[in-house]
Structure 1
Amino acid sequence: MNLHQFRFVQEAVRRNLNLTETAKALFTSQPGVSKAILELEDELGIEIFARHGKRLKRVTEPGVAVLRSIELIMAEVNNLKRIGEEFSKQDAGTLSIATTHTQARYVLPAPVAQLRKRFPKVNISLHQGTPEQVAQMVIDEVAEVGLATESLENFDALVSLPCYEWQHVAVMPVGHPLARVERLSLEDLVVQPLISYHPSFTGRTRIDHAFETRQLKPNIVLEAIDSDVIKTYVRLGMGVGIVAEMAVRDDPANGELVARPVGHLFGQNVARIAFKRGAYLRSFVYSFAEMLSDRLGRNLVARAISGNPDDYQL
């Protein structure tokens, strides 16, 4: 057996058992993938996949156990590569970060710039997606670091740590009636057309829950994943926006929009950083975590990656 066979099996599962897509992803031929998988099955004396003709239909019970072992083997192979890179390249390489639009636009610029200044030989690769996609990219090792508010703590394959807390703010044009109200209520907002995030993004579930708890039905006229898009439609007079506070921090004080904190209505949100459990992190990855949050010291992150979540505290 060899690593090529392990990669083919692993990628076949990732590609929903589609061998044509598996071959494309691995830059090889479909017959080559099929042959390698069959050879591995022959060597192990079991079927990893149940088949219908030449098509893979599902993973067998022994195949599930094989896949668990393959995941561990490939994770350690990637760890070996990172160890080699760290000691041979001396703080050089690529840091891949998976994150949502809000984090990429408003939170990451400062720590990324700081990382580049401290480690000029390190390049940054940003991958944007939904929180679930962010988690999966870290699990699949497309990215080494994930950053999002939702979902990251729901995956057993990840270690996620809180970075910082944030709250929502309501934004409206300067001349809007609510601009004269210092402390908004749910009753103030429920009668307004509202513009906010898609339900899977940036704390939207807290917003919905707050209205539901009070048995109020908000009038959400537009949903988006991008805070800048939300603010654009607020400027056009379509409604009151509810966005993350970091989306308005750099807005001019005498600009077109007024922001009012609504953390007292929707609670505090926690942005989390995630790593794959058991992964080897290069020195500049630990430094990046510290740049994101002063609570993410190297020793704490290392204990979290290698141990049980109960072994560390923030």
Structure 2
Amino acid sequence: MNLHQFRFVQEAVRRNLNLTETAKALYTSQPGISKAILELEEELGVDIFARHGKRLRRVTEPGQEVLKSIEIILREVGNLKRIGEEFSKQDAGRLSIATTHTQARYILPEPVALLRRRFPKVSVSLHQGTPEQVAQMLIEESADIGLATESLSEFDELVTLPCYEWQHMIVVPASHPLATVERPTLEQLAGEPLVSYHPSFTGRTRIDAAFAHRRLKPNVVLEAIDSDVIKTYVRLGLGVGIVAEMAVREDGLGGDLVAKPAGHLFGLNVSRVAFKRGAYLRNFVYTFAELLSDRLTRALIIRAMSGEQPTDYEL
């Protein structure tokens, strides 16, 4: 057996047992993948996949156990490569960050700039997506570190730690009636057209839950993943905006928009930093995490990665 066979099996499962897509992803031929998997099954003495003709239909029960071992083996192979890079290149390499648009736009610029000053030989690659995509990039090891508000803690394959808290803000034109209201209510918002985030992004689930709890139906007329887009449409009079605090904190709103805190309506959100469980983290990954929050330390992350649940760490 060899690593190629292990990668073929793992990728076939990731591609929903579609060997054509598996071959494309691994830049090889479909017959070569089929042959390698059959040879591995013959050597192990069990069927990893149940078949209908030449098509893979499902993973067998022994195949599930084989997959668990393959995951461990390939994870440790990746760790070996990172250890080699750590000590051969010293503080050089590539930091791959998976995150959402809001984090990339408003939170990451300063930490990334500081990291580059400390580690000039490290290049940074930003991958933006939904929180679920962020988690998947970490699991597939196409990213070293992830940052998002929703979903990350729901994946057993990931180790996550709270990074910082934030609240939503209500944004309206300066001429809007709500601009002079100190603490807008959910009832007032339910009577307005709303412009906010797509349901998968930036704490939108808390917004929906708050309205549902009061049995109110919000009139969301536009959804976006970009806070700047939301503010643009608010300026055009499309409706009342609900955006993340960091989207109005950094560069302000100018004189034409007014922002009101909405933590009393929607509660506090927690953005979390995440790593793949069992991954070897290079020196500059720890440093970047520390730059994200003064509560995150190398020692804390090591404890969490070892399986310990730090009880002395809270936001």
Q: Could you say which TM-score interval applies, normalised by the shorter chain?
A: over 0.9
Output the CA distance in 1 between the equivalents of 2:47 and 2:312: 41
* 1:215 Cα deviation from its structure 2 partner: 1.4
Q: Any residues of structure 2 matched to 1:1-314 within 5 Å, and which?
A: 1-252=1-252, 254-309=254-309, 313-314=313-314
Specify the SS of the correspondent of 2:27: coil
Change (3 A) 1:90 1:18: same
Output the CA distance in 2 between the equivalents of 1:129 and 1:241: 22
* 1:213 Cα deviation from its structure 2 partner: 1.2
Matched residue type, 1:138 = L
Output the CA distance in 2 between the equivalents of 1:239 and 1:233: 7
Aligned residues of 1:166 and 1:269 also touching (Cα < 8 A): yes
TM-score (norm 2): 0.97
Deviates further, 201-210 or 161-170: 201-210
Change (3 A) 1:155 1:228: same
Change (3 A) 1:19 1:257: same
* 1:308 Cα deviation from its structure 2 partner: 3.4
Unaligned runs of 5+ in 2: none
Specify the SS of the correspondent of 1:248: helix
Aligned residues of 2:148 and 2:272 also touching (Cα < 8 A): yes
Output the CA distance in 1 between the equivalents of 2:265 and 2:29: 56
CA RMSD of aligned residues (A): 1.1
Output the CA distance in 1 between the equivalents of 2:69 and 2:256: 57
Matched residue type, 1:123 = S
Output the CA distance in 2 between the equivalents of 1:290 and 1:114: 11
- Residue identity over aligned pairs, in percent, reads 77
Change (3 A) 1:58 1:253: closer
Output the CA distance in 2 between the equivalents of 1:199 and 1:254: 27
Deviates further, 195-204 or 245-254: 245-254
Specify the SS of the correspondent of 1:25: helix
Aligned residues of 1:173 and 1:235 also touching (Cα < 8 A): yes
TM-score (norm 1): 0.98
Aligned residues of 2:173 and 2:256 also touching (Cα < 8 A): yes
Unaligned runs of 5+ in 1: none
Aligned residues of 1:303 and 1:312 also touching (Cα < 8 A): no
Runs (4+) of structure 1 exceeding 3 A deviation are 251-254, 310-314
Output the CA distance in 2 between the equivalents of 1:253 and 1:96: 31
Output the CA distance in 1 between the equivalents of 2:231 and 2:310: 41
Deviates further, 201-210 or 301-310: 301-310
